[in-house]
A and B are shown apart, each in its own frame.
Chain A
């Protein structure tokens, strides 16, 4: 008789179970065995814990699927002084993110199979949260030749994007959408018409006062509208990254109404801040696309609430001091976001714009669904990627205590509510609040 090794069992008791995929919101427990969820529900463990199970008392805190962050710059390979696989993984775990998807704008660019395999290997070695990667739409992000999308996807690329650069050439975009459709692959676009987007901040009164070149809002919706025509023509799958304007939300809303296969995300700074955060040349508030007007900020909130905006991604963009302590026009754009994704997003719940389940859907099952990842749900057989958090616990954001190697956050000192208690990946606790 063969003796099976004992199962690794963890029983999470005394939790508020939250599963946006099934609509479950009830007190109960969850059992994870060997990295999978094997049971969950109200009344679980009423007859006691299974044999050999480790007991984790959630103390009434929320137990939800771990967050799926569909837009992260890991900076490895090439810019390890800003972030590495290990530090990004720690930051993700501290932020409740159990799966993150890296952009291909590394050095070298992730545009071939070796690059995709490198990411997978480094992620295994780092033993952190789950790491997926986009591959480039065009070789070297030059916007000219398509990458080997089919082969890249077979080797693990989850979708295709040129990262911080839009696919500028309409013919290239048309072919990318059409070719990707062959394999059912998704094209993710950074929505900015580059010839209009040469500025440093949102075009408007503040840019005029500060003497900074402005980027008109039109640059965003113009690129989206163009692409939507190409989506209609090709039948491709298209996702708009970090929408920031009211007009963009409206254009996407109309496209969805027309039945196009279109999705989009935004980042917390587009609903938490407006262009006034630039204030006195504050480079921490320089992002791409730029922070917009208050009207746009409100439109983004509403787009999330009504589901036009499918997902919220951190758009984690770590930068060292040397990239930010510059005159505004010269500073790199971007904010570190992994560790503030949950509390900033929970503002929508606290502002009563979204129910808790609905908000979590934007951070879990919806991005997982867009990218086809086995993540983002509490279900029997699903990976035990879990987030335990207290939605009301208040604290102040302190970048100095971030796990991320870079500290470029404009949210320093902001009081927020909602804190991660424990992050679990494949049944293994990667983060526990002190």
Chain B
């Protein structure tokens, strides 16, 4: 599909009501969303960035975890489509009682939102919410489970740089165990025909992950050998006390990306990072800022476009389903 953002788009390519994860999506569904996103990249680079596709619609950003970047990206995406947006931040520590999650869903439901974007520290929480909501739900990251729009924006970044995903060798490095970004990327990249390697110390590599069709390494140089893409993950330094790794210094020495380790990858390998970065912990500052190899800022740009595509598609599907129901009722 070409850039058809606008009134003539066909949404047959993605017919789900929600976007809860990449697992289970087909290659053509993923490509549909990426194609739609391409159009928004062009729009966002122009002077007039606004579309009226979501006029009159309400998008709620419900964040149980702090994330200025992702929330802002969703907010901007919704506003550029002319939706009314509200942001709700809920400090998870203050509502340990989970009944509140269902209560929250019921309360929000009563406000008739069209799209709900949810980030939550517990795996599966977004799915639980989605079951109680009448609107479309986008998973903005749940626990260590999935972060589908991050994987889509990563794929869009790669595709625009390298022309495609199929056949690429991608290394995902760092705290795999706690990373929803890693899981969504594994599903997406393998579905589109890339080969994925995971590189992490054994303490941060979850059990039997090789069953997801990836190769695992605990040596950066071996893992990075001949890779097209080096995707670094944020080391959750708050977990350092859990004795997963002895220190940030030791971690950087063996698993941080620097010029020397990067030599193992292809000479023009792209460096990616979902942000925010711990400079000098998982990535050397010099590499993070290398305008030729690092696409980290481009990832942020693609994020807005991808989220616009997702909002547009889910909003359309929701209202198409509603009008079908109304017709059937008549």
Contact = CB atoms under 8 A, between A and B. Distances in A.
A and B associate in one complex: yes
B207 A205 contact: yes
Contacts of A325: 98-99, 102, 128
B146 to A, nearest CB: 7
28 contacts: A204-B207, A204-B208, A205-B209, A205-B212, A208-B209, A209-B23, A211-B143, A211-B145, A212-B144, A213-B144, A214-B207, A216-B207, A280-B124, A280-B127, A281-B123, A325-B98, A325-B99, A325-B102, A327-B101, A327-B120, A327-B122, A327-B125, A327-B128, A328-B122, A329-B122, A329-B143, A330-B98, A330-B122
A95 to B, nearest CB: 29
Nearest to B125: A327
A327 B123 contact: yes
A98 to B, nearest CB: 36
B324 interface: no
A44 B144 CA distance: 66
B226 interface: no
B90 to A, nearest CB: 14
Contacts of B102: 325
A334 interface: no
A216 B122 CA distance: 20
A400 B128 CA distance: 22
A212 B23 CA distance: 15
Interface of B: 23, 96, 98-99, 101-102, 120, 122-125, 127-128, 142-146, 180, 183, 206-209, 211-212
A331 B144 contact: no
Nearest to B100: A326
Nearest to A326: B98
Contacts of B183: 209, 211
Contacts of A329: 122-124, 143
Given A208-B212, A211-B143, A326 B207 contact: no
Contacts of B124: 210-212, 280-281, 327-329
A207 interface: yes
Given A210-B124, A211-B183, A281-B123, A327 B98 contact: yes
Contacts of B122: 327-330
Contacts of A205: 207-209, 211-212
Contacts of A209: 23, 183, 212
A352 interface: no
**Considering residues B122, B124, B128, B183, which has the most beta carbons from chain A within 10 angstroms of its beta carbon?**
B124
Contacts of B123: 210-212, 281, 327-329
A322 interface: yes
Contacts of A281: 123-124, 127-128
A89 interface: no
A212 B146 CA distance: 11
Given A210-B123, A281-B128, A325-B98, A203 B143 contact: no
Interface in A129-162: none
Interface in A265-284: 280-281
